[in-house]
């Protein structure tokens, strides 16, 4: 595998202005098939797969009975089965969660396929140009949240930076070849740290960072939109109780004053005057904005955009803003 070493500045520029390559080989993959596969996934995930058609991808959460998040998942619907993709940081726990849930269920086959596949993402305004090389039809006709079977594996239109994004899932034996093809086509390797910055700028929740490694409810990280209460799923009743009791704290996005150079640590206090009203959950430095930006979990009474709050230490102002933090270049660019 010909890995192209670049610095974070170049990686950021690639993701925001050109096209960057992200190695997703550490994601978890679980294949789910059998007569009750649809029912099984519908029960264990917060969104039903009843209406998921072949070639479509659905994002959902897996919860515990107490309503805490196990992981976010992407569910790929193929002709005969489902492929569940799990973000690297939650892969091990979530794969075990699925395998355990499937124990003793008849007419169901749940297999850990993590070692069978590798995945690479290309993201950026020019990502469509690279994706087009692998598609048997015009890239512009590929809808967000869809995938096709290609000669090499699967090609999906999905991403986390707000720019055009595509993901290629290939058999593990083809991983190095796929990586090198993407590099040759003009996508330099980009690290997870830079991807995290772009992800924050687009306000795509980074579950592992915003939760600090603890298990949280969807409400605490702003992922309640991944819940369909229309169907029964594991954790539904617990979430309803929490919702009916009212939310004491809710997530907000904020931008710091210029004086803040280094992102504050998770847990740093957020104050109004000298009264603590919440804590920082995640923060990064945005090269495009030349500011530290982040998320915080604050009292519901101040969980709104456009408010001047402060950090407890260092004592600096932050302002809550409406997401996303910046408008991706791809938003104004038609797919070539």
Contact 167, 158 (CB under 8 A): yes
Of 315, 322, 329, the C-alpha closest to 293 is 322
Which of residues 16, 47, 167, 282 is near other proteins by CB under 8 A? 47
3-state secondary structure of 134: helix
- If the CB atoms of residues 7 and 300 are measured against other proteins, the closer one turns out to be 300
Smallest gap from residue 255 Cβ to other proteins (A):
13
Question: Binding to other proteins by residue 322, rule CB under 8 A?
Answer: yes
Q: Which is nearer to other proteins, 49 or 114 (CB)?
A: 49
Does 323 bind other proteins (CB under 8 A)? Our answer is: yes
Tokens of 203: 């306000």
Residue 242 interacting with other proteins (CB under 8 A): no
Residue 260 CA to its chain's centroid (Å): 27
295 Cβ contact partners less than 8 Å away, ≥ 6 residues apart: 200, 203, 210, 222, 251, 252, 253, 254, 280, 281, 282, 283
Choose one: 113-121, 170-178, 249-257, 259-267; the region binding other proteins (CB under 8 A): 249-257
Q: Is 38 in the site for other proteins (CB under 8 A)?
A: no
Tell me the closest approach of the beta carbon of residue 230 to other proteins, in angstroms.
6
Site mask for other proteins (CB under 8 A), range 250-269, x = bound = xxxx----------------
Tokens 């209460």 label which residue?
A: 229
Q: Does 333 bind other proteins (CB under 8 A)?
A: no
Which of the 8 DSSP states describes residue 279?
Answer: E
Residue from 1, 143, 184, 289 binding other proteins (CB under 8 A): 143
Residue 244 within binding range of other proteins, rule CB under 8 A = yes
Q: Note whether 58 binds other proteins by CB under 8 A.
A: yes
Of 5-13, 86-94, 175-183, 324-332, the segment contacting other proteins by CB under 8 A is 324-332
How many Cα neighbours within 13 Å face the side chain of 320? 23
288 binds other proteins (CB under 8 A): no
CA trace torsion 105, 110, 112, 116 (10° rounding): 160
Number of residues that bind other proteins (CB under 8 A): 53
CB of 113 to other proteins, least distance (A): 22
Least distance from other proteins to the Cβ atom of residue 224, Å: 5
| In the complex, minimum distance from the CB of residue 297 to other proteins, in angstroms, rounded to a whole number | 13
Q: Which is nearer to other proteins, 55 or 188 (CB)?
A: 55
Taking CB under 8 A as the rule, does residue 238 contact other proteins?
Answer: no
Residue 308, both tokens? 């001047």
Residue 335 makes contact with other proteins by CB under 8 A = no
Class of residue 28 by CB neighbours under 10 A (exposed 0-12, middle 13-18, buried 19+): buried
For residue 280, what are its two tokens? 């920082």
Q: How far is CA 82 from CA 109, 114, 122, 207, in A?
A: 10, 14, 23, 23
Contacts (Cβ under 8 Å, ≥6 apart) of 170: 117, 118, 119, 120, 152, 153, 154, 178
- Residue ranges that bind other proteins, judged by CB under 8 A: 47, 49, 51-53, 56, 58-59, 143-145, 158, 203-204, 222-225, 227-230, 240, 243-247, 250-253, 272-273, 275, 277, 300-309, 319-320, 322-324, 327, 331
């Amino acid at each position: 595998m010909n890995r192209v070493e670049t610095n974070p500045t170049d990686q950021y520029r690639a993701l925001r202005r050109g096209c960057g390559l992200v190695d997703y080989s550490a994601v978890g993959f679980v294949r789910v098939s059998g007569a009750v596969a649809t029912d099984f996934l519908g029960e264990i995930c917060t969104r039903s797969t009843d209406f998921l058609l072949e070639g479509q991808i659905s994002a959902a959460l897996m919860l515990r009975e107490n309503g805490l998040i196990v992981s976010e998942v992407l569910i790929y619907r193929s002709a005969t089965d489902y492929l569940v993709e799990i973000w690297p940081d939650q892969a091990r726990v979530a794969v075990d969660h699925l395998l355990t849930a499937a124990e003793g269920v008849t007419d169901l086959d749940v297999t850990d396929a993590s070692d069978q596949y590798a995945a690479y993402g290309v993201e950026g305004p020019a990502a469509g140009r690279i994706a087009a090389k692998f598609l048997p039809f015009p890239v512009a006709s590929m809808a967000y949240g869809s995938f096709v079977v290609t000669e090499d594996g699967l090609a999906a239109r999905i991403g986390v930076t707000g720019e055009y994004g595509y993901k290629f899932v290939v058999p593990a034996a083809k991983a190095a070849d796929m990586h090198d093809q993407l590099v040759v086509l003009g996508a330099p390797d980009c690290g997870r740290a830079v991807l995290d910055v772009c992800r924050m700028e687009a306000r795509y929740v980074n579950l592992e960072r915003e939760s600090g490694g603890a298990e949280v409810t969807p409400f605490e990280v702003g992922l309640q939109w991944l819940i369909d209460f229309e169907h029964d799923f594991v954790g539904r009743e617990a979430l309803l109780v929490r919702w009916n009791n009212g939310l004491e704290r809710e997530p907000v996005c904020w931008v710091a004053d210029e004086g803040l150079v280094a992102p504050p640590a998770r847990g740093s206090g957020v104050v109004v005057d000298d009264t603590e009203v919440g804590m920082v959950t995640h923060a990064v430095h945005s090269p495009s904005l030349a500011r530290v930006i982040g998320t915080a979990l604050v009292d519901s009474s101040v969980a709104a955009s456009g408010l001047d709050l402060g950090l407890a230490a260092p004592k600096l102002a932050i302002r809550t803003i409406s997401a996303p933090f910046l408008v991706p270049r791809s938003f104004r660019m038609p797919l070539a």
